[in-house]
Amino acid sequence: MKTCLVVDDSSVVRKIARRILEGLEFQVTEAEDGSKALEICQRQLPDAVLLDWNMPVMDGFEFMGHMRRLPGGDQPKVVFCTTENNVAHIAQALSGGANEYIMKPFDKDIIADKFAEVGLIPVGQAMV
Amino acid sequence: MTPTEYEYLRKFLKDNSGLDLSADKQYLIESRLLPLARKAGLSGITDLVQKLQAGSRQLIVDVVEAMTTNETFFFRDKVPFDHFRDHIMPEVIKARAARRSVRIWCAAGSTGQEPYSLAMCLKEMGAALTGWRVEIIATDLSQEVLEKAKSGIYSQFEVQRGLPIQMLVKYFKQTGETWQINPELRAMIQHRQLNLLHDFAQLGTFDVIFCRNVLIYFDQDTKINIFNRLARQIEPDGFLVLGAAETVVGLTDTFRPIPDRRGLYKPNDPRAAAAKPPVGAVPPRMAVMAGR
């Protein structure tokens, strides 16, 4: 079973994301900010990170930078999931090492499409 | 909705759009037509049927448009676009090296995601097509849908379905909450209103025809008729791309599937096909009137 770390300061968003990702057969862990997410990644890297941008303590972009520098930190697929919906933010995320980018609000179809796009789930599964 | 009303709508849709609903599609009618009825100030399906029977022309168009499905997103099903990039275009580039032109028809272009996906594929090929004349014709039954396709404007939700984020950044411009595809890509596509039940010989011949997820709504005779007419609009070495749930197998000899490339077909040698009279080659009007 693949693992996905959901990083978002909203417990509601984490809950919705968890339900969708478990439906896509991911084992889900949650973190409420970048610093807690980094602690989890230092213990064990997930296959995927669904990552909010604006969070207290450490934001998503800073977290990604730290995570990418961990041994094996280039492996996890990072999918941003944020209300920052302008080209400047998207470009910054991609050049900083993000694999995909979701603009909130999101739903199951968008997550499935984006996860299929980066090879986390087979393409067919995205159409269910 | 009473059974009589459902039967009326079924026949009405069959006659006016070729849409062939099976006996159990009440939910589809209700989900599409109830919002339309309310918008028109009608109380429900019963009122709507009465107005249709009275011959309200605007309502007829609205009902047909609402019922012809437009569920579509960028790079839908992915595989056909991989075929297009890895198999179809390399062959076309070889075969048309002297002429340096390619004509592509999206026969159910809908709100534009399919033709624009093809345009993006072609752009990504870069230098291989430098100096080529590329024509993409996108047709659809619905004028409303074509207007949207022409504008190339999509909601934030729509641009997140099937479209890789790099392509969004590269080929779209953001305006507030919406995204518009670049003028350069918009200029690659001609949009035309067309009912596949009617003659389409005037479109000319094509190297590639995408005809996906539209034939599933037609009955068998109509499908055969459309395949036979598509065969006349395709170059002998051209390609036909069908939807995942569609096939020519068992319907016509005018096309043959390409092994190991799901959804991809080549026209058969017309001389071979002519040896056997095509099955069910009824003119379109007859097919519509068949009303089984």
Shared domain check, B204 and B103? yes
Q: Is residue B104 predicted with pLDDT exceeding 50?
A: yes
Judge whether A48 lies within some domain: yes
pLDDT of residue B207: 98
Same structural domain, B254 and B161: yes
B63 and B84 fall within a common domain: no
Cβ-based interface (< 8 Å): residues of A facing B: 85-87, 90-91, 94, 100-103, 106, 109-110, 113-114, 116-117, 123, 127
Q: Are B104 and B207 in contact (CB under 8 A)?
A: yes
Poorest-pLDDT segment among A32-36, A90-94, B196-200, B212-216: B212-216
**HEC profile of B63-118:** HHHHHCCCCCCCCCCCHHHHHHHHHHHHHHHHHCCCCCEEEEEECCCCCCHHHHHH
Task: Write the CATH number for B127.
Answer: 3.40.50.150
Buried b (16+ CB within 10 A) or exposed e, B190-208: ebeebbbbeebeebeebbb
Instruction: Kindly state whether residue B72 falls inside one of the protein's structural domains.
Output: no
> Which ipTM value was assigned to this complex?
0.90
Our measurement of the distance from residue B204's CA atom to the centroid of its chain's CA atoms, rounded to an integer in Å, reads 17
Interatomic CA distance for residues B176 and B263, integer angstroms: 38
Residue B266 lies in a domain: yes
Using a CB-CB cut-off of 8 Å, the residues of chain B touching A103 are 156, 160
B133 and B185 Cβ atoms separated by less than 8 Å: no
A41, A110, A51, A120: which is closest to A80 by C-alpha?
A51
Is residue A128 assigned to a domain?
Answer: no
Contact B252, B278 (CB under 8 A): yes
User: Is 60 exceeded by the pLDDT of residue B285?
Assistant: no
CB B97 within 8 A of CB B130: no
Residues B160, B35 share a domain: no
Average confidence (pLDDT) over B114-120: 97
Going from the C-alpha of B54 to that of each of B15, B49, B62, B219, the distances in angstroms are 16, 9, 15, 27
Q: How far apart are CA B216 and CA B199, in angstroms?
A: 19
Are the beta carbons of B156 and A113 separated by less than 8 Å?
Answer: no
pLDDT score recorded for residue B292: 32
Query: For B102, left (φ over 0), alpha (ψ -120 to 50), or beta?
Result: beta
Q: Are residues B230 and B152 in the same domain?
A: yes
Residues in B touching A117 (Cβ below 8 Å): 164-165
DSSP A70: S
pLDDT at B73 over 70: yes
pLDDT band at B271 (very low <50, low <70, confident <90, very high): low
| Same domain membership, residue B113 and residue B200 | yes
The arithmetic mean of pLDDT across residues B161-170, rounded, is 95
Higher-pLDDT residue of B40 and B204 is: B204
* Predicted pLDDT of residue B132: 95
Contact residues on chain A for B169, CB-CB shorter than 8 A: 87, 90-91, 94
pLDDT at A124: 61
Tell me which of A48 and B246 has the higher pLDDT. Answer: A48
**Cα nearest neighbour of A103 on chain B:** B156
pLDDT beyond 90 at A127: no
Question: For A29-33, B17-21, B243-247, which range has the lowest pLDDT when averaged over its residues?
Answer: B17-21
Nearest to B165 among A101, A106, A116 (CB): A101
d(CA A16, CA A37): 18
Quick one: pLDDT at residue B68?
66
Q: Does residue B143 sit in the same domain as residue B244?
A: yes
Q: Is the CB of B125 inside 8 Å of chain A's CB atoms?
A: no
Tally the domains of chain A.
Answer: 1
Residues 6+ apart with CB under 8 A from B280: B220, B221, B224, B225
Choice between B220 and A30, residue whose per-residue pLDDT is larger? A30
DSSP state of B17: H
B159: pLDDT strictly greater than 80: yes
Q: B131 and B43 in one domain?
A: no
The residue of A117, A120, A121 whose CB has the most chain B CBs within 10 angstroms, and thus the best one to mutate to test that interface, is A117
- Decide if B280 is inside a domain: no
The rounded mean pLDDT for chain B is 87
- Summarize the confidence of residues B243-268 as an average pLDDT: 92
Of the pLDDT bands very low, low, confident and very high (cuts 50, 70, 90), residue B163 is very high
Domain presence at residue A33: yes
What is the pLDDT confidence band of residue B287, given thresholds at 50, 70 and 90? very low
User: Has residue B280 got a pLDDT over 70?
Assistant: no
Domain containing A76 equals 2-118
Instruction: Please indicate, yes or no, if residue A123 is contained in any of the structural domains.
Output: no
- Residue B103: strand pairing partners: B135
Q: Is B201 on the interface with A (CB under 8 A)?
A: no
| Shared-domain flag, residues B119 and B232 | yes
Are residues B85 and B48 located together in one domain of the fold? no
Domain that holds residue B127: 79-275
Kindly state whether B175 is in contact with chain A, defined as any CB-CB distance less than 8 angstroms: no
Write the pLDDT tens digit of every residue in A15-26.
989 999 999 999
Asked, as a colleague might, if the bond just before A105 is cis with ω within 30 of 0, I would say yes
Beta carbons of A113 and B161 less than 8 Å apart: yes
- Asked whether residue B34 is domain-assigned, the answer is yes
**Position B282 in a domain:** no
CA A121 to chain CA mean position, Å: 14
Tell me what pLDDT residue A125 has: 55
Residue A127 lies in a domain: no
**Cα separation of B163 and B179, whole Å?**
12
Does any domain span residue A125?
no
Q: Which pLDDT belongs to residue A128?
A: 38
Residue B86 is assigned to a structural domain of this protein = yes
Beta strands in chain B (DSSP E): 101-106, 133-140, 153-155, 172-175, 178-181, 189-193, 206-211, 234-242, 255-257, 264-267
Q: What is the mean pLDDT of residues B173-193?
A: 94
CATH code where residue A10 lies: 3.40.50.2300
* Mean pLDDT computed over B70-81: 83
| CA-based nearest distance A83→chain B, Å | 11
Q: What is the mean pLDDT of residues B84-93?
A: 96
Tell me what pLDDT residue B282 has: 45
Strand locations in A17-96 (E): 26-31, 48-51, 77-82
Does residue A9 lie within any of the structural domains? yes
Closest residue of chain A to B169, computed from CA coordinates: A87
The string of pLDDT tens digits covering residues B27-67 is 778 878 888 888 889 999 999 999 999 988 888 878 887 87
List of long-range contacts for B275-282, beta carbons under 8 Å, 24+ apart: B278/B224, B278/B228, B278/B252, B278/B253, B278/B254, B279/B224, B279/B251, B279/B252, B280/B220, B280/B221, B280/B224, B280/B225, B281/B224, B281/B225, B281/B228, B282/B221, B282/B225
Phi-psi region of B250 (alpha: psi -120 to 50; beta: other; left: phi over 0): left
Give the pTM: 0.79
Rounded Cα distance, B238 and B279, in Å: 22
The reply to whether B229 falls in a domain is yes
DSSP 8-class letter at B127:
G
Q: How far apart are CA A64 and CA A49, in angstroms?
A: 9
Which of B78, B165, B182 would best serve as a mutation to test chain A binding (most A beta carbons within 10 A)? B165
CATH of the domain at B11: 1.10.155
Q: How far is B184 from chain A (nearest CA, A)?
A: 19
Residue of B157, B162, B165 lying closest to A90 (CB–CB): B165
Q: Same structural domain for residues B60 and B139?
A: no
A46 secondary structure, DSSP code: -
Of chain B, the end-to-end C-alpha distance in Å amounts to 21
Residue A65 lies in a domain: yes
Q: Do A110 and B161 touch (CB under 8 A)?
A: yes
Asked, for residue B213, whether it belongs to a domain, the answer is yes
Instruction: Report the domain count for chain B.
Output: 2
Residue B165 and residue B193 in one domain: yes
